[in-house]
């Protein structure tokens, strides 16, 4: 069974900075996989060669970019869909809205039900943040013991597939 690691971090309420922060789960990655490593793995699963897999993935990247730039939703079969999303400031009236109010263009990935359901079988395992782990490692090297600050997030970053 697959295991997803998480840490517990304190976060402020962005809408009320005066309010005491609360503790939330934050996914912690265990590493990364490169495009080349994915191609090697796919090559092991079928008869397509690694260079052919890399060529297809490079072509897929071009098609995804071109399609998103054309305003299309990219339907990727059993994987899910990709689409653009905009983050903008508001204007008092429709007529006063200008492109300058658009602050960010993001890519949103919506997985298929099959992929979403596959996450239900993941076991969760609590771990420390990167900062906590580094402090423990430094402490072990110096022979002392330190208790990690529960208010210190040591944020490693969230999830999401923004900025593909």
pLDDT per residue as tens digits for the range 100-136: 999 999 999 999 999 999 999 899 999 988 778 778 7
Q: Is the pLDDT of residue 152 over 70?
A: no
What number of residues does the chain have? 164
Residue 80's DSSP bridge partners are: 111
Say how far apart CA 33 and CA 71 lie, in whole Å: 29
* 26 touches 7 (CB < 8 A): yes
Which pTM value belongs to this model?
A: 0.68
pLDDT per residue as tens digits for the range 42-81: 999 999 999 999 999 999 999 999 999 999 999 999 999 9
């Amino acid at each position: 069974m697959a295991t997803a690691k998480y840490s517990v971090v304190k976060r402020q309420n962005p809408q009320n900075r005066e309010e005491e922060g609360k503790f939330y789960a934050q996914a912690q990655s265990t590493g990364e996989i490169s495009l080349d490593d994915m191609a090697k793995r796919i090559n092991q699963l079928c008869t397509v060669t690694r260079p052919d897999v890399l060529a297809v993935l490079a072509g897929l990247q071009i098609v995804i970019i071109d399609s998103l730039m054309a305003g299309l939703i990219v339907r990727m079969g059993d994987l899910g869909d990709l689409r653009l999303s905009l983050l903008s400031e508001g204007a008092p009236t429709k007529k006063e809205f200008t492109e300058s109010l658009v602050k960010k263009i993001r890519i949103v990935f919506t997985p298929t039900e099959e992929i979403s359901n596959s996450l239900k079988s993941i076991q969760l395992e609590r771990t420390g943040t990167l900062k906590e782990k580094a402090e423990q490692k430094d402490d072990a090297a110096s022979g002392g013991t330190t208790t990690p600050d529960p208010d210190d997030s040591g944020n490693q970053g969230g999830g999401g597939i923004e900025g593909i």
